[in-house]
Amino acid sequence: MNPKIKPAPSPDQLAAVAAYAARHGRTWRAALMGAWLTGRDAQEPAGHLLRQVRNTCGPAWLATVTMAELAPKESAAPSCPHCGRDLETDAELAAGLCTSDDCPRHDPAADRLAATLASMPEHEVDTIRSALAATRCAA
């Protein structure tokens, strides 16, 4: 994993943080950091999701996340971390990368991965997708 890619909470986790931010106003980061330190996050609505973000992404992520990143995307489709193109095929979604030749980080390895994933049973692709999501968040 590229350490320059920011940890990425799941959409559920982001939504929980966004809702927290909406409740706590301008100083929400300090409020959430305090809640994380004291364990009060567990009593918040969706507290278990806030706790997951603390455990996997932590204070460094909190310090740098922007409201734009918290805002729900217009399209629910995940996008390529390198070019922002929407990921469309199951293989692209599972790989977390686009396979567009126009992508600045186009990587033949991603094509091979996509081809491999496309030939795998759905439940195995799901397993890999969850594993990749967990890895991204723990970076």
Choose the stretch contacting Zn ion; rule: CB under 5 A; options: 31-39, 49-57, 80-88, 123-131: 80-88
Does the footprint of Zn ion cover residue 98 (CB under 5 A)? yes
CA distance 6 to 70: 13
**Which element (helix H / strand E) includes 17?**
helix 11-24
Question: Between 23 and 73, whose beta carbon lies closer to Zn ion?
Answer: 73
Q: Which position has the token pair 């204070």?
A: 59
In the list 24, 29, 40, 82, the residue contacting Zn ion (rule: CB under 5 A) is 82
Tell which positions 102-121 bind Zn ion, by CB under 5 A: 103
Identity of the residue, 53 or 95, whose beta carbon is nearer to Zn ion in the bound complex: 95
87 lines the binding site for Zn ion (CB under 5 A): no
Positive/negative CA dihedral, 115, 116, 119, 122: negative
Task: Give the contacts of 70 (CB within 8 A, at least 6 positions apart).
Answer: 14, 17, 18, 21
For residue 40, state whether it binds Zn ion (rule: CB under 5 A): no
**Residues at the interface with Zn ion (CB under 5 A):** 80, 82-83, 98, 103
